[in-house]
Amino acid sequence: MTALTPRPAQPPVVSALPPNDALREVLHDEVHARPPARIRLPALVVYVAVLNEGVSREAEWSHLRQLPGQQDLPPEDLSGNFLRLRFDTHTLKWERHTEFSRYSIVQALPEAAMTGGDEAELIRALTVDPAWLASIPGRTVAAIMMAMVHGDVDDPAAMRAQADPWFEGRETLASMLGIRRSCAMTDFRLRDSGFERLLVISPPNTSELRVGRISQRLLELETYRLMALRGLPVAKELGPMLTESEAQLAAITARMENTEASDQELLQTLIGLAARIERATALNMYRFSATQAYHGLVEQRITQLRETPIPGTQTVGEFLQRRLSPAIATVQATAQRLTSLSQRVERASALLRTRVDIATEAQNQMLLEKLTKGQELQLRLQSTVEGLSIAAISYYVVSLLVYCAKAAKSAGLPVNIELATGLSIPLVLVGVWWMGKRVQAALHAENP
């Protein structure tokens, strides 16, 4: 026996880059986050999409653990929002998105599926327990059974005959996908079981990866269509409220033209209207924005299908665009009305504030005029008081001088009290007046 030569140890890789950004690997691996499955024909794809509002990731993990052999499924496997489980007879793919979670099961197509299409028989032929499907946490938004088979895509009559049992003879829409590589058919009808039905016919040389991409695009197309339409009931519900609010705003604006209308009453009414509009905006603007985003994804998926029509049959993309466009236009118009109404309420509030400011300025002007008149009266009164003050102070000073003269006469000095009093009065008046002026000048110098 020849001994194996050990491989030489590889030298450690020397990094020639600056440190990675914290999100670099996450953003880089996003391109591989949801790879399409490889599907071997003939196959049956069972697809369920549920709204996950209020449903935690732990609840979905607990539900996945109920599958056979998955009791030890670690919760870390669900951290990337994508998980594919492989079983002996089927594969199951779980995906979690912002508003919904998707479960896709790929199994072999039951033998009787393309001959009778019986709903109860199909449910019994599922490799996953129907009770497990029914107990998926969340509320169903889309459920599809898609049969994928081989067929001659160059013979439309043969494809219609092949599809009749699957669609129970109903009229279908059909499109050639790519350069006539596959054909997709649907009737957009809900069965009693709650499932829609799709059929994909591909030539025998179609690769498994291409079949997987077709499956993914068709399932996403239907899911995003239904998610886009979730804004339509909201728009219809808001319509009467917007009409009433627009009429109320027009009435408020008309009353603002009347100068006798109470500003306080107008302000209270306008505040109530603004609060109602802002509440509607806060509750529904996300739904309208999501509708636009989902509609963009629908258009993108239709473009990626690269449809070509089959003579005498309407294409899936054309049907969706004709049916979806009015609903999206209604949502867009409602969102625009809501935004426009909010802006108009804001302009009306600005006008009312301007009106209140003008009235306030007029009142302030009147108050200033009254204050000016009061100050003039006060100055006149002050001048009068100053004159009286000079007379009073002079009287007291002269009285003091009289006492001094009397005291001097009592001391034996030859003083004529009446003459001294008369002569001192002018001097005292001038002195008191001069001292008052000096005090006023000093005060004005300190507080100009």
Q: Report the alpha-carbon distance of residue 211 to residue 68 in Å, rounded.
A: 27
In this structure, which amino acid lies at residue 366?
M
Which two tokens mark 46? 């069972």
Q: Report the alpha-carbon distance of residue 324 to residue 328 in Å, rounded.
A: 6
What's the first-to-final CA gap in the chain, in angstroms? 116
Residues in the chain: 448
Q: In 3D, which of 131, 130, 29, 133 has the Cα closest to residue 82?
A: 29
Give how far Cα 43 sits from Cα of 149, 275, 409, Å. Answer: 7, 55, 143
Residue 8: per-residue pLDDT? 63
Which sequence spans correspond to the domains of the chain?
A: 33-228, 231-366, 382-441
Kindly state the average pLDDT of the residues 398-408. 79
Structure confidence by residue, pLDDT tens digits, 59-81: 999 999 999 988 989 988 887 78
CA-based R_g, the chain, Å: 46
Structure confidence by residue, pLDDT tens digits, 322-365: 889 999 999 999 999 999 988 888 888 877 777 777 777 777 88
β partners of residue 85 = 92
Residue 1: per-residue pLDDT? 40
> Residue 16: CB partners within 8 Å, gap ≥ 6?
none
Give how far Cα 328 sits from Cα of 14, 136, 289, 409, Å. Answer: 54, 30, 11, 117
pTM for the model = 0.76
Least confident segment among 95-99, 243-247, 290-294, 391-395: 391-395
β partners of residue 103 = 48, 94
CB 141 within 8 A of CB 227: yes
